[in-house]
Amino acid sequence: MKRATLMAAGLGALLACLVAMPASAATFAVNTTADPAGAGCAGGTCSFRQAADAVNAGPGSGDTINLPAGHYVFALGDIRFDLPVTIVGAGARSTILDANLASGVLYFQTGSSASTLAGVTVTRGSFGGIYNEVNLTVRDVAVVGNTDTGTGAGLYNNTGATLTVERSTISGNTAGTVGAGIYNQGTLNLTSSTVSGNIANTSGGGWEAGGVYNSGTATIVNSTIAGNRADAGGGIDASSGSMVNLKNTIIAANTATGTGPANCTSSGTYISQGNNLEDADTCNLTQLTDLRNTAAGIGSLQNNGGPTDTRALLAGSAAIDRGANSGCPATDQRGVGRPIGTCDIGAYEFAPPGVTTGSATAINTGGAKLAGTLLPNLRDSSYYFQYGVTTAYGSTSVAQGGGAGNSPVGVNVTAAGLKSGTTYHFRLVAVNAEGTSFGSDATFKTSVFNGARLASRTLKLDSKGRVRLRLGCPSTTAGSCAIRAGIYSAKGKLPASLSRVGGDSAVRKARRLGRGSFSIAAGKTQSKRVRLSRAGRKPLKRKRTLRARLLLTTRDAGGNAKTRSFRVKVKRNRG
């Protein structure tokens, strides 16, 4: 009995431990864009709706749904989540969630607290795009082209809920009454995002907030709210008792079709945290760093690179370098690193290319490879190097395309035609639509050009009247060594050099015994033969050794020239 009791107690303790252990989160990989109903992804097919059913049937441990690129058209109404979930698409431009104008798109209900939606487009919801009752983060998402006959066509954030929107675009949504882009009754955190082209009812009746309607607490940082329309408060409406905090944000080009203000209605409280820009004076921007009645200088909503569309700052925009670096997000909406100098106001960072001058390698007597690093900042960029003997440079390499990516790329060019033994300055320069950037100055020194080397000063005459020269071209030579050789008698003045054009016929101070021309690649040593003239061979018939002088004029690919003379012995072979 005692043993049985102990076993029972042990089993009970084990079961208690198992119950206490948290269930592990599951990951569901969707593999079809079709929309079949079903209770989970146990079979071979896993649709988005089936994955949602699996999440809702799970233990609530925070499952993940991976959505590959594709156009997901909902046939069975909106998709709802009762438990925490992370939904990850392949990017807003390639993963499309489409309600086909028959229902809402996504509904995060009370039990799905602490959920995340990333990398998708939410579109064509006829009862709004996203309805939220929990703590929801929306990141790198496009909420576009949704409608609702009432409020919150794009995103609806209910009382008590927290909605965090980062690096996203809310555009082209239409509400029958209030808050076409975002309708917030809880807590809204809007960062590095664009709210543009949303329309609330403009037929009269004082309907408000084409962009953002707030009856809770909204904090808007480095965002752009522009081009929205309503009967009043086309940009933002803060209802009585609500609060809107604004920092580094653009509110501009919004429209009120009635008698109300175009950008912000003022029944609630607007608190400026500084460095905002409004093209009117309706948003209570009271800080010294705020810009009121100032044109924003922004482009239309379009693909400027990055996961979602943005409204770019145009050259000369008053928003450039007028934000606060304190609290400035690490990237703009597109993912471009910020600040570049001083943080810009709005969701977009005006970004000339980033450049870093690197080092010179493969240095030789007439050239070098110049290297650096280019960051295009999501704009088509080109680059070139400047180089010269001073910081005025004077020479420029041919411009080359650097792409439009958002990651640093190594670039290089080869500078040729340089003087040997000379210090050169160089720097990398890059250009895109938003400006020209100059790298720091760097230097290198070309190798000294000493011309061809003679391996042996004893030249042997063969039976055909030729002598062999063992010649070497230094490895630091640009290209190859172009060599002209002249063998002269031991007496008399040698010519200054042996040029390629005109030869040495104009100078006959010393009697020439033979000559030849050769080419030897850099770093190579080769044997070359020079035929002696009859006058050169004649003395060797009487004696075995003839004292002579060898003159070598060498040029490299950079046009550098070096002439060297050697005292040599010409020996006749025995026999």
Top CATH class, 354-445 = mainly beta
pLDDT at residue 198, as a whole number: 97
**Average pLDDT value for the chain:** 92
pLDDT at residue 20, as a whole number: 39
pLDDT at residue 203, as a whole number: 74
Q: What is the mean pLDDT of residues 503-523?
A: 79
- Write down the CATH number for the domain with range 453-572: 2.60.40.2550
Least confident of 70-84, 279-293, 541-555: 541-555
pLDDT at residue 393, as a whole number: 98
Cβ atoms < 10 Å from Cβ of 45 = 13
- The percent of residues in the chain predicted with pLDDT above 70, rounded, is 94
* Sequence-distant (≥ 6) Cβ neighbours of residue 18 within 8 angstroms: none
pLDDT at residue 232, as a whole number: 86
Give tens-digit pLDDT for 529-573: 999 998 888 888 888 899 999 999 999 999 999 999 999 999 987
Single-letter amino acid code for the residue at 415:
A
- Cis ω for the linkage preceding 339 (within 30 of 0): yes
Question: Distance between terminal CA atoms of the chain?
Answer: 120
Q: What is the mean pLDDT of residues 507-523?
A: 87
Q: What is the mean pLDDT of residues 470-488?
A: 96
| C-alpha dihedral (450, 452, 453, 454), degrees to nearest 10 | -140
Longest CA–CA span in the chain (Å) reads 129
CB 304 within 8 A of CB 274: no
Beta strand residue intervals within 177-234, DSSP E: 182-184, 187-191, 194-196, 212-214, 217-221, 224-226, 229-230
- The percent of residues in the chain predicted with pLDDT above 90, rounded, is 83
Distance CA 152, CA 140 (A): 20
CB 382 within 8 A of CB 355: no
Q: Tokens 């009752």 belong to which residue?
A: 133
Percent helix / strand / coil, the chain, rounded to 5: 5, 40, 50
pLDDT at residue 324, as a whole number: 98
Distance CA 423, CA 477 (A): 16
Task: Kindly tell me if the per-residue pLDDT of 510 is higher than 90.
Answer: no
pLDDT at residue 332, as a whole number: 98
Which comes out higher in pLDDT, residue 525 or 232? 525
Distance CA 262, CA 269 (A): 17
Task: Kindly tell me if the per-residue pLDDT of 122 is higher than 90.
Answer: yes
pLDDT at residue 434, as a whole number: 97
Give tens-digit pLDDT for 332-383: 999 999 999 999 999 999 999 999 999 999 999 999 999 999 999 999 999 9
pLDDT at residue 363, as a whole number: 98
Q: What is the mean pLDDT of residues 471-484?
A: 96
- The radius of gyration computed from the CA coordinates of the chain, to the nearest angstrom, equals 39
Task: Kindly tell me if the per-residue pLDDT of 124 is higher than 70.
Answer: yes
> How does residue 497 score in pLDDT terms, banded at 50, 70 and 90?
confident
Relative to beta strand 121-123, strand 142-144 is parallel
Distance CA 106, CA 96 (A): 12
Cβ atoms < 10 Å from Cβ of 16 = 9
The candidate with the shortest Cα–Cα distance to 98, out of 119, 80, 79, is: 79
Task: Kindly tell me if the per-residue pLDDT of 111 is higher than 90.
Answer: no
| Token pair recorded at residue 494 | 């040698």
Least confident of 66-70, 349-353, 500-504: 500-504
| Token pair recorded at residue 453 | 């080397």
Distance CA 155, CA 399 (A): 46
Give tens-digit pLDDT for 185-217: 999 999 999 999 999 987 777 778 999 999 999
Q: Do domains 354-445 and 453-572 have the same CATH topology?
A: yes
Task: Kindly tell me if the per-residue pLDDT of 15 is higher than 70.
Answer: no
Least confident of 13-22, 392-401, 418-427: 13-22
What are the distances in angstroms from CA 385 to CA 82, 162, 285, 361, 373? 58, 51, 45, 14, 12
407, burial (CB in 10 Å: exposed 0-12, middle 13-18, buried 19+): exposed
pLDDT at residue 541, as a whole number: 84
Q: What is the mean pLDDT of residues 491-510?
A: 64
Write a three-state SS string for 468-522: EEEEECCCCCCCEEEEEEEEEECCCCCCCCCCCCCCCCCCCCCCEEEEEEEEEEC
Distance CA 82, CA 382 (A): 50
Phi, psi of 511 (to 5 degrees): -75, 125
Sheet architecture: strand order including 354-361: 354-361, 368-375, 409-415
Domain boundaries, the chain: 73-300, 354-445, 453-572
Distance CA 491, CA 511 (A): 8
pLDDT at residue 574, as a whole number: 66
Relative to beta strand 423-432, strand 435-438 is antiparallel
pLDDT at residue 499, as a whole number: 57
Least confident of 21-30, 253-262, 342-351, 544-553: 21-30
pLDDT at residue 575, as a whole number: 52
Distance CA 119, CA 130 (A): 14
Task: Kindly tell me if the per-residue pLDDT of 10 is higher than 50.
Answer: no
Least confident of 84-88, 434-438, 446-450, 497-501: 497-501
What are the distances in angstroms from CA 226 to CA 51, 195, 223? 37, 6, 10
CB 194 within 8 A of CB 169: yes
DSSP per residue over 450-470, as a string? Answer: ---EES-SEEEE-TTSEEEEE
Which residues, in sequence order, are bridge partners of residue 461? 467, 572
Distance CA 213, CA 200 (A): 10
CB 38 within 8 A of CB 50: yes
